[in-house]
Amino acid sequence: MGAFLYFPRGGTSTSAQNAATLAILNTTIEGARAGAAFAPALDGEVYATGDLVRANVDGRAVLTFFDGSSLSVDPGSQVKVLALNRVSTDGIQVTIEQSLGRSWSSVQKLKTPDSRYEVRTPSTTAVVRGTGFLTFVQQLAAGGTQTTYQVDEGTLQVAATAGGTVTVPAGSQVTIAEGAPAPASATPMAPTPRIEITGSPGLGFLVVAPTGQSCGTAGGKAEIFGCVLSTDKITIRDATPGRWGVFLTSPKAIGVSAFVVEVFVGTTSSARRIMEGPLAAGQMFRGGITVTPGPPLGLSAFEPSTVVTSVCAATAPGLVFASGAVDGRGDSIKTFARDNKSSPVSLVFTEAELNQAVNQNGKSTQGVTLSDAKITIDGGGIHGSAKAATQLITVTATADVVGGSVGNKFTLKVSHLAADPIPPALLDAVKGLVDSTTADISGTVPFVVKQVAFRNGCFWVSGVTPN
């Protein structure tokens, strides 16, 4: 059984301004465009009406909607996005249908009266206006399903298909089976282990769970199941034991910064770790901490922190190669791989490095020359612009590039290209130039690729060295 994210047939625009951006947390995700055949999905791809995303039983992915709300889907779940529309200037209307499995919705405060975030299951319809909640649809042995909502922040209004409505405030839950009416009230959630992570005012941080999902004040997303994000603090319930990556930064200097991780069951603290020290303006650190199994959950000491140059260098898994010449990092991994078989590694590239690399010399083909390239990177992939010159005209060409693992190899693909008013034949030449540039980058990855992730200002490629 797989995870399915479906966008109903409608308009043809695939702009991220009116759609959702996909983040892939493993390699078992495929996408189909408006009825076309399935193909490997790539990190940063934009999905809109008529598109389908699916995963096998191990698949895990996150959709981020254009307003910043996100939907994380567990392996084995079946979830459809029935409607996704922009309303008014900043409003959003989302209708999600979930027939099986678990999802985590982190919903931004809706900005307009006509905005709506709705989840439908076989037995319920839940409506929110800014909250964090878990939806769990279980198959019953006697047949049919039951739906459980657990609310960590905000309030849900849950209507049972069989009749009745119940309000589910933060800290409570409700379970409704098919054919059953809504209960009179929700019930409090039983105390479960939770982790509270707090940073000093002005300290930006991001934690990465063993599952690959992230949450924190520096990332602006709450991908991790049960993560509730506030200004200087996040709370995560039922945290997964294992190593958690840590990224710290600050735009301004902090004389003494404090980063605190604490485990609670109810109001009782079972473990606490604190990392303190000065932080220069713009400085970035990579570290980690291990959550040990319970009960109760425990915490290791913090790993020694190291200075990094980007959020990607801080959050990429395995041994990270993020320094030296862009075209020489692959050779460094080859050297490492000779004595380290099947070892987790990551290659990191920043937009500053890519800008320097692509502008070292202009590229030309079929009478078209590209120059003055400018590259930016965000969660939607790589975005570039350059001057495209022929003997008769010079225009600005723009391109969007997404990436991922295809056949265990690093693949970059042009998802959008424009260079008006160049004729179509010359536009193909521009695309060829862009493709050759992306091929140069793809060819620097000498290991089995498992994941590609785009972040603000950088991206990383992770995998394992050959056997």
Q: Which residue has the tokens 């030296």?
A: 324
Predicted confidence (pLDDT) at residue 25 exceeds the cutoff of 50: yes
Q: Encode pLDDT of 52-76 as tens digits.
A: 677 666 777 788 888 888 888 887 7
Query: Is residue 330 pLDDT above 60, yes or no?
Result: yes
The residue among 174, 173, 103, 178 whose CA lies nearest residue 140 is: 178
Instruction: Spell out where 107-144 has E strands.
Output: 116-120, 124-128, 132-139
Question: What is the overall mean pLDDT for the chain?
Answer: 82
Q: How many Å separate Cα 289 from the centre of its chain?
A: 21
> Which tokens go with 110?
């809706």
Cis upstream peptide for 188 (omega within 30°): no
Residue-wise pLDDT for 167-190, tens only, equals 999 999 999 999 999 999 999 998
Work out the percent of the chain whose per-residue pLDDT is above 90: 30
Higher pLDDT, 150 or 57: 150
Please give the radius of gyration of the chain, using alpha carbons only, rounded to the nearest integer: 23
Helix, strand, or coil here: 337?
helix
* pLDDT bucket at 9, cuts 50 / 70 / 90: very low
Q: CATH assignment of 3-188?
A: 2.60.120.1440
For the cut 60, the answer to whether the pLDDT of residue 16 exceeds it is: no
Q: Is the pLDDT of residue 2 over 60?
A: no
Give the pLDDT confidence score for residue 3 in this predicted structure. Answer: 47
